[in-house]
Amino acid sequence: MKVTTTNGFPDATDETKIIFMRSKRDGLLAQSDWTQLADSPLTEAKQNEWKVYREALRDFPASWTPADTAEFPKEPT
């Protein structure tokens, strides 16, 4: 998933881009919380796919260099 990190402001600072990227990443994590619940309808294999995806999202900021876009990991299908 590719998102813009300038939030409509072409002169956004790196700090602003980082804040926006983390906000988007946190939203993606929140939207996938249900996949890790004990009563999730997913199979164990699918839960593991989502677990790997969520780990990649949590690790994303460490490898991302502030830019106008952020290419987040693709979520499982």
Q: Model confidence over 29-41: pLDDT tens digits?
A: 999 999 999 999 9
Name the pLDDT band for 7 (thresholds 50, 70, 90).
confident
The Cβ-side half-sphere exposure at 14, using a 13 Å CA radius, reads: 4
Give CA–CA dist 8/60, Å, rounded: 22
State both tokens at 67: 């830019």
Using alpha carbons, list the distances in angstroms from residue 40 to 18, 44, 58, 66, 74. 32, 9, 21, 35, 20
Name the pLDDT band for 61 (thresholds 50, 70, 90).
very high
